[in-house]
Structures are given as structure tokens and as C-alpha cells.
Chain A
Amino acid sequence: QKEVEQDPGPLSVPEGAIVSLNCTYSNSAFQYFMWYRQYSRKGPELLMYTYSSGNKEDGRFTAQVDKSSKYISLFIRDSQPSDSATYLCAMSAELGTDKLIFGTGTRLQVFP
């Protein structure tokens, strides 16, 4: 079993839809959770960073963490064609310079 499992997609939705992206993990030591967006042939861009269970909102993006279920989600409201990218969840156990463990990524396409 992989440490981090992510729905592979691809996911294709119409503009304006609400998108839900999810990851599960098995290592209860993970404390820090991140979502990255990666456009084709570019480096990942940090979207959201969360530590505690609960929700964190930033504009159209909401990150949700449920440590009891070892489940994290990223919601995108009012999705736009420019949101079309691969979304990677990542997590780590320690604060500071700990390496990140990534999910496999979900490819999202938002069509007009």
C-alpha cells in the first residue's frame, strides 16, 4: 500500500462546476498537508498548506483535513478553464526540512 493514495482522474468538468479532489494516507505521523498545482512542463505551485484538522479557505479554494479518517480534500468553487492542471497532494511528518510525500496527482480539465 502506498503511503499516499490519490484519485487518478482524469477529471473533466464544465466551467463553473465545483471540483472535489481527494487523497488518503496511511501514515498517522503526517501532520502537514499541502496541495500543489502543476501545469504541463512547469514546476508545482503551492496552493494550500494546512496543519490541523478542519477547513482552510483561500478564495475559490478550500482545503479540508480529517486526521481521524486520514483523508484530505481540495475543493475548487466556480472552476475556470485556467484551473486545468494536475493537482498533487503532499504531506510530511515534521516541521521544517522534512521531505514531502506526494500523491500521484489528479489531472483536471475544465472546459468552457
Chain B
Amino acid sequence: GAVVSQHPSWVICKSGTSVKIECRSLDFQATTMFWYRQFPKQSLMLMATSNEGSKATYEQGVEKDKFLINHASLTLSTLTVTSAHPEDSSFYICSAPVPGRNEQYFGPGTRLTVT
């Protein structure tokens, strides 16, 4: 299957700082990537759709200015959590659909802990 990577896998930061998470499609080009957040023992909640060359589309209730998304190239999307707070601590996962198919492949996730 297609490979999607994320970096870092785990990050701890202090309250008020910003954290950048990278999502890369390693063996295919992705014009679209999706960012999810998952709290313990809960399902994935879609945060936003990242589009190469255009603005991201955010789901209702997700703050655009807090979760900045940049789809820099056909293989890279970044999510920046700005002015992070403890309630932002969560598991962030990205996914990318394979062109011409409806299958989406997920990255391994990034665990963010804000102290």
C-alpha cells in the first residue's frame, strides 16, 4: 500500500508555544490531505482538508487561526498548532487519498502533549 509519514511522532511543548507537524506522501502525489484529531478511546475527528495550491477547508468548530495548514507541495502538508494549550493535547493524524482510487492511507500519527 501507499506510504504516508508524519514527523515528529511525539512532541512535548510548553503552553503558549507553537508546534508544527509534517505529513508527507512518500510514494505518490497528494493534491489533498486530511488532518484528524483523536482523543483517547475516541474515533477520528476530521479537522480540515488541506489542498495543494489553495486554502484549507476547515470543519465546523475548528479554529482556522489556531490550526494553520499549509500544503506546500504535492507531497507535503503541515499543521501548525499555534499558542498551544493543554486542551490541545491529542493524537493528530493525517491521511492522503491515492490518486485515481478512493482509498486513503494514514500516517502513523503525532502525539502532542502541551504542559
Contact = CB atoms under 8 A, between A and B. Distances in A.
Interface in B5-24: 6
B34 interface: yes
Interface string B19-61: 0000000000001101000000111101001000000000000
A42 B103 contact: no
Name the residue among B32, B103, B106 with the largest chain A CB count within 10 angstroms: B106
B29 to A, nearest CB: 12
Contacts of B104: 34, 46, 100
Could you tell me the dominant secondary structure of chain A's interface residues? loop
Contacts of A42: 108-109
Contact of A95 (B32, B42, B102): B102
A58 interface: no
Given A46-B105, A92-B102, A100-B104, A41 B42 contact: no
Interface of B: 1, 4, 6, 31-32, 34, 41-44, 46, 49, 91, 93, 95, 97, 100, 102-109, 111
Interface of A: 32, 34, 36, 41-46, 49, 51, 88, 92, 95-100, 102-105, 107
